[in-house]
Structure 1
């Protein structure tokens, strides 16, 4: 009898050990770190993402999931290479889900770590001007492309701190993005560039565009000496917005050193609603005048051109429905009569 009991006890111990071993193997490669989920690559797999995975936040409605999540067997770098080669559309479900699960970094819930915490505005006048044109709106949504370190010359930090806005910061330079992450901004962030085509792609970028934006008075010879290049994943702006479930933007800040027109061309204006934007014009062919003409055809009016040290932006606002109606009527009259007839307001 005692021998039988000992056998049973040994069997139970053996089963318990097996269960523990199985549990250990089944645990996914996630660990909880200060309230954030961080993805870690297994040693034997070439998975390079180490980022915060967005879970159960108020902005991304998981009930409207665009596609099924990737299984753990799929290495997302290989998946994005496939999507790049296929040149999938900006609204491709696999692309949107991949951006959402592997590229977007969630807002920080830690205290700000700013170099100048007392500064009310870090822009060169864009933010206060836009704030007044939006009637000091609270809880809006912004997109800042060319966010650099999230503080220096930031056009959106004021809205985040003073108006409780949400938003997303887009910065392709890995070194600048690392600085940005240390600021603990209350916005989403993505280390990527905006595509100038309506599909994802990888692009070789040199950091002279970053120096040109941050240190415009440095000589071109000095910039060439310090020039570095890096391969960056680019996404259409519309894809990023779909990943966030946001298609209405209160303010878009676009500073991409010459790629502004290409980025604007990818936006489906019938699906995305942008109220006001600042667009850098110094590398736009024809300058601010032709930029305003181009955006006028998109339904925007130029409010002001800002130029000076560290600034060369045009501020544009979406025309009201009434103004757009008057413009369409004038266009019809021009087509019929060869000239614009007077329109009573």
Structure 2
């Protein structure tokens, strides 16, 4: 027992150290511009019927476009397919499966679309393959004797290949295109049976993933990052200032940035702008509420106060300029008519 106690003492000390080193973080939302910048200006769009679309990929992309909201407003005007059918029938054009670029331009002009999204599902396959895998089991309690045996197994691979593109209806030029080949595999063995998924279920999920990825490339999007808060005073805090620091962090964790702003502002004032912890934490709150220029000023103040490198502050200094640039680009894309 005497030899065990030191082990537990060390383990407990390490556990306390690990728990104490877990920094408080908050999740911040950022608006980023479309990755395909030239595609962001096309906001009146139509989705042409995809070739060989047995998985409903075209419909899923149309739904994603319709549901795309940026700054609490719909980003796209997705032109109604029923209205298209009526107009195109009148013009003796068949909306389903338009492939000729001249027809696409003519159809786009008739229905007022700036761009068409179209594509093809070139394959949707499911394949089962059989194989054997080796297992071992002990023949005695000490496992001095082992038996090796083989177990039959099944590997199911479900895959899809598709291409998607967005076309300028005025020029017939391809604005952006991408090819996708998602593939997933599952295993089931006789001694550990697992229900293998149905191919239709997987194809639907793969088609949803393709639709989500494509739309995320051509429109501004929101991303989320966890940002660290500093919870240990860097200078001598009195009892009131310690409580302000604790309360400010608690309100951040409760997603009450308004209260956290008031408290950290008071802490910066009471510490006479000499505490990088107070300045940095207020900067995080400003960043979380989209006040990026104010956040930058506070991070710069925190940076000037640190005597030794503080990782969180250094990350903030590097991050905030990129955040400002990306937000400006996204805002410009949104403002385009």
Q: Which category describes the TM-score, using the shorter chain as reference length?
A: under 0.3
Asked which structure has the greater CA Rg, the reply is 2
The alignment's TM-score, normalised by the length of structure 1, stands at 0.17
Greater helix share, structure number: 2
The alignment's TM-score, normalised by the length of structure 2, stands at 0.17
Q: Larger relative contact order (C-alpha < 8 A, sep ≥ 6)?
A: 2
Greater strand share, structure number: 2
